[in-house]
């Protein structure tokens, strides 16, 4: 995917809508090439022109819902615990209307608001997630 094939209007609109969003946001081509990132993504060094699936370890992308979002041409949301980030992420893959090969992707850390059931069970407490570390009443 040649990133220069994306219109300046789409690029400009992406920055207009997403640059002030406090979390990293990417504009991505269906082949997973990162076309643009917002300011937060730039601050974290998200590499424009690189395929997002080539960043980090392969298992970090196991929950990717881009194919589903693109095939249905509808936004997809998933709330799940990310082992490598140790965060509960509220993640979105949103195809652009009128540009079937592009989507916006971002995930928001909602750990401080997430229900306990979204976190992995703590080792050494017999599977109990009550936080006491020695619960035997469950």
Q: What is the DSSP string of 62-93?
A: TT--HHHHHHHTS-EEEEEEETTTTEEEEEEE
Query: What number is the average pLDDT over the span 113-124?
Result: 78
pLDDT for 53 equals 83
Whether residue 28 lies inside any domain: the answer is: yes
Q: Is the pTM of this model over 0.85?
A: no
- What pLDDT, in 10s, does the model give residues 51-104? 998 887 888 888 899 999 999 999 999 999 988 889 999 999 999 999 999 999
Into how many domains does the chain fold?
A: 1
Question: How many residues are given for the chain?
Answer: 138
Strand order of the β-sheet with 34-37 is 34-37, 25-29, 99-109, 87-96, 76-82
**CATH number, domain with residue 14:** 3.30.450.20
Count the Cβ atoms, other than its own, within 10 Å of residue 81: 16
Whether residue 111 lies inside any domain: the answer is: yes
DSSP state of 134: S
Domain of residue 54: give its range.
3-118
pLDDT for 4 equals 55
Whether residue 134 lies inside any domain: the answer is: no
């Amino acid at each position: 995917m040649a990133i220069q094939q994306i219109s300046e209007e789409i690029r400009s609109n992406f920055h207009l809508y997403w640059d002030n969003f406090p979390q990293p946001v990417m504009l991505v081509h269906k082949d997973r090439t990162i076309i643009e990132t917002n300011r937060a993504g730039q601050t974290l060094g998200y590499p424009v022109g690189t395929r997002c699936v080539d960043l980090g370890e392969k298992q970090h992308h196991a929950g990717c819902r881009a194919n589903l979002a693109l095939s249905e041409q509808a936004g997809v949301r998933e709330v799940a615990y990310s082992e490598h980030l140790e965060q509960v992420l509220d993640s979105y893959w949103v195809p652009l209307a009128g540009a079937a090969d592009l989507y916006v992707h971002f995930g928001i850390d909602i750990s401080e608001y997430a229900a306990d059931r979204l976190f992995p069970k703590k080792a050494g407490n017999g599977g109990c997630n009550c936080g006491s570390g020695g619960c035997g009443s469950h």
